[in-house]
Amino acid sequence: MIVYNPEEDFAIQKEELEQDGVDEEKVIAVIALKVEKYLNSNPDLLMSYLYRLDVQEKRIKSALENADEYPANIVLAKLIWTRQKERLQTRQKYRSKSDRDWWDDF
């Protein structure tokens, strides 16, 4: 049985980013290339990934319906990037005190 993992398939290698920090446009461009690959080769798997990444279905539909106006792969990449940033912010906000301050004990 093959198990697909969106976190790994949409992972971005360090060398794909600038040395001095995250360039959001570059990150989105890299994700957009991967999204385009899945749109062309396995759209069902892409939809499964978007579901597992918790991207809102109405936004996905909008991106696909308006593909004539805006490229779907770029819009979907922006949705993925935005959702991942939201997830990170939520994790940081609700991290327990013990998770945040354990390093201070050293």
Write out pLDDT tens, residues 30-46: 999 999 999 999 999 99
Instruction: Give a yes or no: residue 75 inside a domain.
Output: yes
Give the tens place of pLDDT for each residue, 49-65.
999 999 999 999 999 99
- The CA distance from 21 to 47, in Å, is 30
Report yes or no on 58 lying in a domain.
yes
Residue 1 lies in a domain: no
In the 3-class helix/strand/coil scheme, how is 48-70 assigned residue by residue?
HHHHHCCCCHHHHHHHHHCCCCC
**Count of structural domains within the chain:** 1
**Would residue 80 be called left, alpha or beta, if left means φ above 0 and alpha means ψ between -120 and 50 degrees?**
alpha
Q: 56: which 2 tokens?
A: 């809102």
pLDDT over 70 for what percent of the chain? 70
**Structural domain containing residue 60:** 23-92
Task: Report residue 47's pLDDT band, with 50, 70 and 90 as the boundaries.
Answer: very high
Cα–Cα distances in Å, from 3 out to 42, 45, 73, 103, 104?
A: 15, 11, 23, 35, 39
